[in-house]
């Protein structure tokens, strides 16, 4: 782990971005309970478990019409 310490100032912003993506998608999943397919629990799992890919897949395919 010691070897990673010098890179922490760079790793932390990356973590923040991943979290921001996850939260944007998660809030959207919770507030818009209509999906093109899948259910709310499914999309919560996808968005939270699969970093980066999950939110992209949700916004590209899962998001329902408004």
| Residue 17 touches another protein, criterion: CB under 8 A | yes
For 21-29, the CB contacts below 8 A with 24+ separation are 21/51, 21/52, 21/55, 22/47, 22/48, 22/51, 22/54, 22/55, 24/55, 25/54, 25/55, 25/58, 25/59, 28/58, 28/59, 28/63, 29/58, 29/62
Residue 38 or 63: which CB sits closer to another protein?
63
Question: How many residues make contact with another protein (CB under 8 A)?
Answer: 23
| Residue 8 touches another protein, criterion: CB under 8 A | no
| Residue 55 touches another protein, criterion: CB under 8 A | yes
| Residue 32 touches another protein, criterion: CB under 8 A | no
């Amino acid at each position: 782990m010691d070897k990673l310490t010098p890179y922490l100032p760079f790793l932390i912003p990356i973590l923040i971005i991943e979290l921001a993506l996850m939260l944007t998608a998660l809030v959207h999943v919770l507030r818009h309970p209509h999906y093109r397919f899948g259910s709310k629990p499914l999309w919560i799992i996808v968005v939270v478990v699969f970093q980066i890919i999950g939110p992209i897949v949700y916004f590209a395919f899962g998001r329902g019409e408004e």
